[in-house]
Amino acid sequence: MRWFAKIDLMVRLLVLAILLASFLPAAGNAREIAQWISNGAIFVLFFLNGLRLPRDEVLQGMRHWRFLIPVLIWCFGAMAFAGKGLAIVLVGSLPPLVALGFLYLGVMPSTVQSATAYSSLAGGKVSSSIVAAALTNIAGVFICAPMFAALAGSGAVEMGVDGLTKVFAILILPFAIGQLLQGRLSHWVRERKDLIAWMDRISIAIAVYVAFSGAVEQGLWTMIGISEWAILLAATWVMLAFAFIGAWTVGGQLRLDRGDRIAFLFAGAHKSVAMGAPLAAVLFPPQVAGMVLLPLLVYHLLQLVISAPLASRLARPLRPVPDAAACSEPTTTARDR
């Protein structure tokens, strides 16, 4: 079990939540209780996010519009339409809700912790990474749900008054309260980083457990066979290739310096299950949420697999380019002297 202990804690909790939902799904009255617990945990999660995201850093970083605007366009534009394209292509090959999950994956914001951590490891600008991830998450609270509803069509998700009320009450309201109380409670959060980190992870794991419990009851594991899993994994690798290669290329086309380009790469390519799992639990009934969430969970796990060696490769110092003039000079030998 030593190899399991070396895996990222969030990944381990996600795997355990999926296994628990597969063998002991919340059903009947237990599902309603689990849903209430999940909603409460999500409320706390977004309240803590509001407390932690420092307004001063965000406002300072927002001045770097040459970096931030392209990140937002890439994250919520290019990635969203790439997900929409895959969802259309895969409709006949995967269960419709799982195929729709690629669109859901595409409209998600960047991760905060992992994008920043890998950007730092690769030698990128940590300040740019933090602000980009924070800004996409702030924007995501307000635009992910309506964007998904608009691109998916009215038949996929109902964003009526009830849906908007749930999004506001469970996501936006606690985040706003956290921002308002930041001056009074930010020190409390800083002094209890380990506790807050555990609360974050457990909240996300609970949301994943509730979502997958409903999906398992609907026959998730019988609906997706070996061939469907192969298609799902292949499509996820296509999305990952588009995300990482595209983000790196766009950063080069914008002529960002190397630090900003690395920050753009990870902020633009990573997708957040910390936003996706709670939002799915709010938007969809449990039997739908687990299906839609599946591509995002697979993508999240694989992005971590890619990011570690990629960050190590980018951290290596670049080889200096030989001076052409120096190379053209004749070499002086002992015989010449």
pTM of the entire predicted model: 0.76
Comparing CA positions, the residue from 284, 321, 114, 91 lying closest to residue 197 is: 114
User: 278 near 144, Cβ under 8 Å?
Assistant: no
Question: What is the phi-psi region of residue 7: left when phi exceeds 0, alpha when psi lies from -120 to 50, beta otherwise?
Answer: beta
Query: What pLDDT does residue 336 have?
Result: 45
Side chain identity, residue 10 = M
The three-point CA angle 96-224-111 to 5° equals: 70
Tokens of 35: 């849903």
Query: What pLDDT does residue 134 have?
Result: 74
Q: Length of the chain, please? A: 337
Query: What pLDDT does residue 235 have?
Result: 97
- Fold for domain 2-217+224-315? Na+/H+ antiporter like fold (1.20.1530)
> What is the C-alpha radius of gyration for the chain, rounded to an integer number of angstroms?
22
Distance CA 223, CA 95 (A): 7
Residues 6+ apart with CB under 8 A from 90: 98, 99, 102, 231, 235
Q: Mark 156-188 as b/e (b = at least 16 C-beta within 10 Å).
A: bbebeeebeeebeebbbebbeebbeebeeebee
Distance CA 291, CA 212 (A): 8
Query: What pLDDT does residue 255 have?
Result: 92
Query: What pLDDT does residue 280 have?
Result: 85
Mean pLDDT in each 10-residue stretch from start to end of the chain (337 residues)?
60 84 84 83 79 66 77 93 95 91 93 78 80 79 84 63 67 79 77 77 82 79 88 97 96 92 92 84 80 91 86 74 47 45
Report the SS3 class of residue 92.
Answer: coil
Side chain identity, residue 124 = G
**What CA–CA distances, in Å, run from 308 to 14, 151, 161, 304, 315?**
19, 32, 42, 6, 11
Phi, psi of 212 (to 5 degrees): -75, -25
Comparing CA positions, the residue from 8, 14, 7 lying closest to residue 274 is: 14
The label of the residue with tokens 């409209």 reads 107
Residues 6+ apart with CB under 8 A from 234: none
